[in-house]
Amino acid sequence: MKRVIVIGGGPAGLMAAEVLSQAGVAVDLYDAMPSVGRKFLLAGKGGLNLTHSESADRFAERYGERRTQIEALLRGFGAQQVREWAHGLGVETFVGTSGRVFPADMKAAPLLRAWLNRLRHPAQGAGVQFHMRHRWLGWAEDGRTLCFETPQGEVTAQADAVVLALGGGSWARLGSNGAWVPLLAARGVAVAPLLPANCGFDVAVQRRLPAEGQAVPVQVVPAPTTGWSEHFASRFAGQPFKTVAISFTHAQGQTFRRKGEFVATATGVEGSLIYAASSLLRDEIIRSGHATLHLDLLPDFTPERVLAEVAHPRGAKSLSSHLKSRLNLDGIKTALLHELLSKDDMHDATKLAAAIKALPLQLVAARPIDEAISSAGGVLFEVLNDDLMCEALHGVFCAGEMLDWEAPTGGYLLTACLASGRLAGAGVLRYLAA
């Protein structure tokens, strides 16, 4: 009987193991953690987003520069196949109002339990053997023997083929720490640097300081300082910006505009609306050192209406009371205007109205990769064949987030991981047959 080793117990590795075991191949799955699917379970804590119900063409667009490569994977296992696969495990699904697809009970654990049970006790073929707390160290000197660190010491193993599904670089505490990068690079496999994706950012805010001998703030520091003021951060970190829109134009001309929500952090911003634009913002920061998005605090109001309401006589009312009564603008939104605008601009109706509709917010750094939901970069598709086998390492296949692609949240990450694992498993079968 042929034997295959799968390293990595996330969705991609488990899917590859399923394809192989159902074909009668003996599969040994190794993972550094005490149990498999840890990132899968954490991602499903707020409701497991399996995939998305939009059209295949729109779905493929979500993968940006890697659309061609990911679209090839999705042709074999796309959104509809993901739903059918879940149904085969006894998990019904539904489409939410946003078009996202979830299990009926919104939970990840029941699906994972059913999946592992099927892997261990398949209706046909051999059951997958799981080896936990086995951290892959690379290859021995013969270039074929795999080495693992375990609580009992180092062990080795060999197989007819290997599937690597080692994850990206985010959420290291769950096993995805990018430690595999130098191991593959040393064997001649080209790897793009791992970068944060679906991540938050630090902001830069100009500080107004008192002039010499004065107590009132009239001078502006030429260079912005990273992070919010202590006043803003202490009061609003963790609070959401609701019903806003952001717009951003990349230096290469690509434009992003979307309405939604995001959250203020102690040093900047994060959340679904920021994540959706994160690849463009991150790349612009890498290119030029900063990225400036424009925030529309009232996307449902026309600029003309905002100006008319701001310019309306306010009598004895304070500016904050005026903005609250005329535009229902208060809380974190008003505080942000005070944080970013000068006192003169706050009392200039034209400038204030323009800022409410297009407030510039400068971002100067992506948050560390370990805080990101996912990562970009990884093994280049250009050094893999159509079955995801490394051209430099025959019999070694790669799948999942360790490949060089990225996608927004919304089920796109999980779908592509499952699809790549399925293709890698099928590729191994073709390799073994040949």
Q: How confident is the model at residue 207 (pLDDT cuts 50, 70, 90)?
A: low
Q: For residue 383, what pLDDT is reported?
A: 98
Considering the domain architecture, whether residues 176 and 225 belong to the same structural domain is answered as: no
Q: For 306, left (φ over 0), alpha (ψ -120 to 50), or beta?
A: alpha
Range 221-226, long-range pairs (CB < 8 A, 24+ positions): 224/362, 224/364, 226/202, 226/267, 226/364, 226/365
Considering the domain architecture, whether residues 208 and 193 belong to the same structural domain is answered as: no
Q: What is the pLDDT of residues 7-21, one digit of tens each?
A: 999 999 999 999 999
CA distances from residue 334 to 78, 204, 219, 257 in whole angstroms, order as listed:
44, 18, 22, 22
Considering the domain architecture, whether residues 402 and 419 belong to the same structural domain is answered as: yes
Q: For residue 253, what pLDDT is reported?
A: 81
CA distances from residue 296 to 245, 333, 337, 354 in whole angstroms, order as listed:
5, 10, 11, 9
For tokens 């990595």, the residue is: 8
Q: What is the pLDDT of residues 341-379, one digit of tens each?
A: 999 999 999 999 999 999 999 999 999 999 999 999 999
Total domains present in the chain: 2
Considering the domain architecture, whether residues 46 and 135 belong to the same structural domain is answered as: yes
Q: For residue 223, what pLDDT is reported?
A: 54
Residue 371 lies in a domain: no
Q: What is the pLDDT of residues 213-224, one digit of tens each?
A: 444 444 444 456
Whole-number average pLDDT of the chain: 94
Q: For residue 15, what pLDDT is reported?
A: 98
Among residues 313, 340, 366, the one where a domain terminates is 366
Residue 255's domain comprises: 201-366
Considering the domain architecture, whether residues 294 and 422 belong to the same structural domain is answered as: no
Considering the domain architecture, whether residues 191 and 223 belong to the same structural domain is answered as: no
Considering the domain architecture, whether residues 37 and 162 belong to the same structural domain is answered as: yes
Among residues 366, 400, 415, the one where a domain terminates is 366
Considering the domain architecture, whether residues 356 and 386 belong to the same structural domain is answered as: no
Q: What is the pLDDT of residues 44-71, one digit of tens each?
A: 888 999 999 999 999 999 999 999 999 9
Considering the domain architecture, whether residues 234 and 317 belong to the same structural domain is answered as: yes
Considering the domain architecture, whether residues 181 and 78 belong to the same structural domain is answered as: yes
Among residues 309, 336, 366, the one where a domain terminates is 366
Q: What is the pLDDT of residues 70-116, one digit of tens each?
A: 999 999 999 999 999 999 999 999 999 999 999 999 999 999 999 99
What would the two tokens of residue 362 be? Answer: 């400068």
d(CA 404, CA 399): 10
Considering the domain architecture, whether residues 211 and 181 belong to the same structural domain is answered as: no
